[in-house]
Amino acid sequence: MHNKTILITGGAGFIGSHVVRLFVEKYPDYKIINLDALTYAGNLENLTDIEDAANYTFVKGDITDEGFINSLFDEYKFDSVIHLAAESHVDRSIKDPLAFVRTNVIGTMILLNAFKALWKDDFADKLFYHVSTDEVYGSLGETGLFEETTSYDPNSPYSASKASSDHFVRAYGETYGMPYVITNCSNNYGQNQFPEKLIPLFINNIINHKPLPVYGDGNYTRDWLYVVDHAIAIDLVFHEGKQGDTYNIGGFNEWKNIDLVKLLCQQMDVALGRDKDSSEELITYVKDRPGHDLRYAIDASKINKELGWKPSVTFEQGLKITIDWYLNNEDWLNSVTSGSYQTYYQKQYS
């Protein structure tokens, strides 16, 4: 396997930090450059264990800054990009859709152009890996699964911006012969997730005896995957996936929100040594999210059959690892929930 110089964007975020760690530790001969703007969601504390590794460099910068991105590609001559940088939270996209167009659509375009400009005469051994979401497929009814061939039908500004970026990546493949691969993954959970998403937000609220705001009737369904299993899938697709192809990644693990929240409450009561049912008493039904997708569920049989990938932990195991991590990393949790998080929380939930 020849040495590579890989740009990982968004590597200080939740999933990106797990991908960076896996690549830095597993491939000492690769040069890994982590580019991240360190928005509210990016945190170098996620990577202190590998920050001094010889094959790792962090660069602070914004993917929407075209001049900066072009000079970065000139300097490092990246032969591969694993693109995770994005605005990633649906609720924020409802309040500020344009920010999602800027980063997720225009930022992706700027990366695609820089990659094309560098290699257009010879794309051999090059790869643009675009990390996307199952939300581009829209909402399922009570039955059925998202397959790689399911038509795109995004409903939120977040999913519309991710769908748009997926289309541009495919268009660059078709039009300019740019080698790419796209993965569409279901909801991730695990250590280092910013506490605006369901699981870490509820863990933080349970710790602090705050209400657990369940949107609508709680009968919305998501398919949950442990973040390290997503990073393992990305490694596999990066090295063995078919160029110009798409793979769905999912946990084979559908949960109605309210059932998941009850399981989380039970595990938190045990972990915190609190009375049985004390966390469940915090459940509060609140106004629904506008345009709330009813159900996401992934058919991950293609990546399973073609590349032999499957999740390595059960949901109960992954949830326990996650809860233990948040309880043992109080400083991390306190630092990300101070300052602007409080303002966000007030606006979103008051």
- DSSP category for residue 140: B
Q: Is 158 one of the catalytic residues?
A: yes
Convert 169-194 to b/e letters by CB count within 10 Å (16 or more is b): bbebbeeeebbbbbbbbbbbbbbbbb
30, 56, 158, 220: which is the annotated catalytic residue?
158
Rule CB under 6 A: choose which of 6, 12, 136, 163 binds ligand NAD: 12
Residues 265-294 that bind ligand TYD (CB under 6 A): 289
Contact between 212 and ligand NAD by CB under 6 A: the answer reads: no
Contact between 90 and ligand TYD by CB under 6 A: the answer reads: yes
Q: CA torsion sign, 70 to 72 to 73 to 79?
A: negative
Which amino acid is it at 327? L
Rule CB under 6 A: choose which of 43, 257, 267, 322 binds ligand TYD: 257
Q: How far is the CB of 45 from ligand TYD (least distance, A)?
A: 21
Q: Is 134 one of the catalytic residues?
A: yes
Tokens, residue 223 = 């398919």
- First-to-last alpha carbon distance for the chain, in angstroms, is 54
Question: Segment contacting ligand TYD (CB under 6 A): 52-60, 195-203, 232-240, 244-252?
Answer: 195-203
Rule CB under 6 A: choose which of 34, 39, 93, 108 binds ligand NAD: 39
- CA-wise closest residue to 188 among 200, 180, 204: 200
The size of the interface with ligand TYD (CB under 6 A), counted in residues, is 12
State the binding partner of 311 from ligand TYD, ligand NAD, none, CB within 5 to 8 A by kind. Answer: none
Q: How far is the CB of 220 from ligand TYD (least distance, A)?
A: 4
Contact between 140 and ligand TYD by CB under 6 A: the answer reads: no
Smaller CB distance to ligand TYD: residue 83 or 197? 197
Rule CB under 6 A: choose which of 131, 233, 268, 319 binds ligand NAD: 131
Question: Segment contacting ligand NAD (CB under 6 A): 7-15, 257-265, 281-289, 300-308?
Answer: 7-15
Q: Is 176 one of the catalytic residues?
A: no
Q: Report angle CA 305, 311, 315 to the nearest 5 degrees.
A: 145
Q: How far apart are CA 231 and CA 13, in angstroms?
A: 13
- DSSP category for residue 257: H
Contact between 297 and ligand NAD by CB under 6 A: the answer reads: no
The size of the interface with ligand NAD (CB under 6 A), counted in residues, is 31
36, 134, 196, 299: which is the annotated catalytic residue?
134
Rule CB under 6 A: choose which of 18, 31, 126, 222 binds ligand TYD: 222
Rule CB under 6 A: choose which of 187, 205, 257, 304 binds ligand NAD: 187
| Helical axes 227-240 vs 14-26, angle rounded to 10° | 60
Q: How far apart are CA 93 and CA 244, in angstroms?
A: 29
Q: How far apart are CA 124 and CA 104, in angstroms?
A: 27
Q: How far apart are CA 311 and CA 333, in angstroms?
A: 27
Length of the chain, in residues: 350
Q: How far apart are CA 231 and CA 137, in angstroms?
A: 22
Give whole-number Cα distances, 143 to 197, 295, 299, 301, in Å: 25, 9, 12, 17
- CA-wise closest residue to 169 among 181, 153, 183, 157: 181
* Contact string 81-120 vs ligand NAD (x = CB under 6 A): ---xxxxx--------------x---x-------------
- CA-wise closest residue to 61 among 81, 39, 83: 39
Q: How far apart are CA 278 and CA 300, in angstroms?
A: 36
Contact between 156 and ligand NAD by CB under 6 A: the answer reads: no
Chain residues binding ligand NAD by CB under 6 A are 9-10, 12-16, 36-39, 41-42, 62-64, 84-88, 103, 107, 131-133, 162, 185, 187-188, 194
Catalytic residue ranges: 134-135, 158
Chain residues binding ligand TYD by CB under 6 A are 90, 187, 197-198, 201, 213-215, 220, 222, 257, 289
